[in-house]
């Protein structure tokens, strides 16, 4: 259960405060004048408020994090205000409201997760050495070295010690982009999991695919804003990918051309996967791998 102190740390930010006031101020004024004057709501206003309350209630159950819920409720309130202005006051005030919305979003964009976390940021080189366990070696191949060579035979104990030096057995890596709202909202979920499953043989990390585009290309993750690939969550075991969310589709696994049916399934798979902690725990079997003895 998230404490109030943690929620204050995460949500008391200029973005959430100012955008909430900007979205709800007009609604509050309208309701005050409506009830202070003793007049009943019109049928259209009543239906509009019912839709707003219904969507807000539904999102309260569906949101994965407090940040996601807050940002979506702010968006609903702004859109409600925009529609109300359009149908009751005309285009001039709509344009002013949109201009203020854009200006506020420019100066105060939504911040990234600001609560407790054990997620580490990886560079491409760190990803290769720590996660994939690729060591920097000599530029010359062994076959090119002439003359006798000494081959060291290591005991099982030495091999185990070397594995410990290499790093944890499991890595869970989020491929993200700074512009992606889905990535921004999902980081809170991953942060909670990184604290819950904080054991020596599991590490959580993230990598910016806009900065390190080669990694995105290697793992078939599109950086196109129109795609639904981000965030992509990868589970590695001893340097090898064993699972991912969203799951790989036919077109990305070398299955040939994609039909319209497969393309639709592809979109549904990537767009529809639940970004709740329970989904990650179940698909990656985190309880089982956390209980493994090392």
- Is the pLDDT at 267 greater than 70? The verdict is no
**Residues 168 and 102 occupy one common structural domain:** no
**Residues 128 and 58 occupy one common structural domain:** no
The answer to whether position 172 is within a domain reads yes
In percent, the amount of the chain with pLDDT more than 90 equals 63
Q: Which residue has the higher pLDDT, 31 or 218?
A: 218
The answer to whether position 148 is within a domain reads no
**Residues 23 and 90 occupy one common structural domain:** yes
**Residues 76 and 11 occupy one common structural domain:** yes
pLDDT for the residue numbered 27:
92
**Residues 183 and 233 occupy one common structural domain:** yes
The answer to whether position 141 is within a domain reads no
pLDDT for the residue numbered 145:
43
Retrieve residue 35's tokens.
């009830």
**Residues 199 and 84 occupy one common structural domain:** no
Predicted TM-score (pTM) of the model is 0.79
- From residue 71, give the alpha-carbon distance in Å to each of 62, 202, 247, 260: 13, 31, 27, 34
The answer to whether position 145 is within a domain reads no
**Residues 82 and 131 occupy one common structural domain:** no
pLDDT in tens, 247-262: 866 555 555 555 556 6
Number of domains observed in the structure of the chain: 2
Q: How far, in whole angstroms, is CA 202 from its chain's centroid?
A: 19
The answer to whether position 143 is within a domain reads no
Q: Please give the residue range of the domain that contains residue 260.
A: 120-135+158-290
Could you say which DSSP state residue 226 is in? Answer: T
pLDDT in tens, 111-167: 999 999 999 999 999 999 999 988 655 444 444 445 454 445 555 455 445 555 568
**Residues 177 and 241 occupy one common structural domain:** yes
Select from 139, 141, 45 the least CA-distant residue to 87.
45
**Residues 204 and 93 occupy one common structural domain:** no
**Three-state SS sequence of 11-61:** HCCHHHHHHHHHHHHHHHHHHHHHHHCCCCCCHHHHHHHHHHHHHHHHHHH
**Residues 131 and 210 occupy one common structural domain:** yes
**Residues 101 and 203 occupy one common structural domain:** no
- From residue 11, give the alpha-carbon distance in Å to each of 7, 8, 32, 115: 6, 5, 27, 9
Between helix 66-88 and helix 14-36 the angle, nearest 10°, is 40
Which residues touch 280 (CB under 8 Å, ≥6 apart)? Answer: 189, 190, 193, 233, 245, 286
pLDDT in tens, 23-56: 999 999 988 888 887 677 788 888 999 999 999 9
Mean pLDDT of all residues belonging to the chain: 85
**Residues 164 and 50 occupy one common structural domain:** no
The answer to whether position 98 is within a domain reads yes
The answer to whether position 150 is within a domain reads no
The answer to whether position 188 is within a domain reads yes
Angle, CA 235 vertex, CA 234 and CA 240 arms, to 5°: 105
């Amino acid at each position: 259960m998230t404490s109030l102190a943690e929620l204050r740390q995460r949500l008391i930010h200029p973005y959430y405060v100012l955008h909430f006031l900007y979205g709800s101020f007009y609604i509050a004024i309208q309701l005050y004048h409506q009830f202070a004057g003793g007049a009943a709501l019109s049928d259209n206003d009543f239906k509009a408020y019912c839709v707003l309350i219904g969507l807000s209630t539904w999102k309260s159950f569906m949101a994965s994090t407090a940040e996601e819920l807050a940002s979506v409720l702010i968006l609903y309130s702004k859109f409600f205000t925009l529609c109300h202005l359009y149908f009751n006051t005309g285009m001039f005030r709509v344009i002013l409201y949109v201009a203020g919305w854009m200006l506020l979003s420019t100066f105060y964009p939504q911040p990234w997760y600001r609560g407790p976390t054990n997620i580490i940021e990886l560079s491409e080189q760190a990803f290769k050495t720590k996660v994939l366990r690729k060591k920097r070696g000599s530029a010359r191949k062994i076959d090119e070295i002439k003359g006798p060579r000494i081959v060291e035979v290591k005991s099982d104990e030495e091999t185990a010690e070397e594995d410990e030096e290499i790093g944890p057995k499991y890595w869970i890596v989020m491929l993200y982009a700074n512009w992606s709202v889905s990535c921004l909202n999902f980081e809170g979920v991953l942060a909670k999991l990184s604290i819950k499953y904080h054991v020596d043989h599991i590490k959580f990390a993230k990598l910016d695919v806009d900065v390190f585009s080669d990694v995105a290309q290697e793992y078939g993750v599109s950086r196109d804003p129109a795609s639904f690939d981000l965030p992509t969550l990868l589970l590695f075991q001893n340097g090898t990918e064993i699972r991912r969310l969203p799951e790989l589709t036919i077109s990305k696994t070398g299955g040939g051309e994609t039909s319209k049916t497969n393309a639709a399934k592809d979109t549904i798979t990537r767009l529809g996967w639940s970004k709740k902690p329970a989904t990650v725990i179940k698909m990656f079997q985190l309880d089982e791998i956390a209980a493994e003895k090392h």
